[in-house]
Amino acid sequence: MTQSRSSANRPLSPHLQIYKPIPTMVMSIVHRITGSALYVGTLLVAWWLIAAATNEEYFNFVNAIYGSWIGRLVLLGYTWALIHHMIGGIRHLIWDTGRGLDKDTTTKMAWASLILSVALTILIWIAAFTIA
């Protein structure tokens, strides 16, 4: 079987330049990114715990960094990544049961995971500032 000249120049497998981004595809990519971001965030939590176990001066130093505007922005991002990744995991768990796999439902679940993760992050931060 001979290949035509035009088919020989095409890529052998699909890639992002071919596909039009759809909500489920974007949420899948974001799920991977948030999973990677959680590694860095967990190192920050470990640093804070080590500082707490070391001495008061070092703990105050780390708290000052986390309390700065950039530190709070990083912590906000970590909170959102944690919540978003958890909701994405729940979404995949639901799919593992064979439910919600039709195109309309998967799209709604993708949007819902984004909206819910932002809303829960905002609620957590409101609660944190209300308590503190």
Residue 126 lies in a domain: yes
What's the CATH number where 52 sits?
A: 1.20.1300.10
What is the C-alpha separation between 24 and 30, in angstroms, rounded?
A: 10
CB 23 within 8 A of CB 110: yes
Which domain does 37 fall in, by range?
21-131
When pLDDT is cut at 50, 70 and 90, the band that residue 21 belongs to is confident
Residue 125 lies in a domain: yes
Give how many domains the chain has, as a whole number.
Answer: 1
Checking if the pLDDT of 7 tops 80, the result is no
Residue 2 lies in a domain: no
Per-residue pLDDT, 63: 96
Q: At what angle do helices 69-96 and 103-131 cross, to 10 degrees?
A: 140
What is the C-alpha separation between 89 and 82, in angstroms, rounded?
A: 11
Of 3 and 124, the structure prediction assigns the larger pLDDT to 124
Residue 8 lies in a domain: no
Please state the rounded mean pLDDT for residues 103-130. Answer: 97
What is the C-alpha separation between 120 and 112, in angstroms, rounded?
A: 12
Residue 76 lies in a domain: yes
Query: pLDDT for 32-43, tens place per residue?
Result: 999 999 999 999
Residue 118 lies in a domain: yes
CB 11 within 8 A of CB 68: no
Please state the rounded mean pLDDT for residues 58-71. Answer: 98
Per-residue pLDDT, 132: 73
**Known binding-site positions:** 85
Instruction: Say how far residue 107 (Cα) sits from the centre of its chain.
Output: 17
**Known binding-site positions for heme:** 85
Residue 4 lies in a domain: no
Residue 32 lies in a domain: yes
